[in-house]
Amino acid sequence: MARQCKICGLDEDKRDFIDGLIINGLGFKEIETRAKSQGIDVSHMSIKRHLDSGHVQGTIKRDNDAGDTDTFIEIPDIADTQDLKEFAEQELLKITANQLAILRTKQELYMQGKARYPSSEVAGLKNIMQSLTMLTGKSGDIFDLAATKK
């Protein structure tokens, strides 16, 4: 016998309160804290299951991970496929630099015995390099690709 969703089992006002916090993009632990301050005893996992089960009606606001500000994306003016290719190559080079910095930091932590080996970061870098190779038709040597941009 399936267990009833704990949030759906609450009275309508309490459920609407929790659904409203979910729709406004609050994290599950923050919702749990706010619910408890209102006398609603629910766990963050119950809230997650409620959302994952499709019980929340409405569009959920998604903020970026950096804070409470909305994310704005600058869309470049791309006239043709050559412009698109150049833009993609520039962006992939920036992403590669970021990924290398992440990998370096995690590798240093690994070498100090403070973290696991950064295998997912290595795999991510390989994926980026493969994308650059496919896009440019070059060998994938990041130094050759970067040198052509100067």
pLDDT, tens digit (0-9, with 9 covering 90-100), for 130-146? 887 887 776 655 555 45
Largest CA distance in the chain: 66
Q: How does the average pLDDT of the chain come out, rounded?
A: 81
* Token pair 């804290």 in the structure block, residue: 33
Which residue, 68, 71, 129, is CA-closest to 99? 129
Alpha helices (H) in the chain, listed in sequence order: 12-23, 28-37, 44-52, 81-111, 119-136, 142-147
Q: Could you tell me what percent of the chain has a pLDDT over 90?
A: 29
> Residues near 7 by Cβ (< 8 Å), separated by ≥ 6?
15, 18, 19, 42, 46, 47, 50, 55
Q: Above 50 in pLDDT, residue 65?
A: no
Q: Is the dihedral of CA 9, 14, 16, 20 positive or negative?
A: negative
CA atoms within 13 A on the CB side of 18: 32
* Tens of pLDDT, residues 92-107: 888 888 999 999 999 9
Tell me the whole-structure pTM to 2 decimals: 0.45
Which residue, 130, 128, 110, is CA-closest to 118? 110
Angstrom distance (rounded) from CA 77 to CA 6: 49
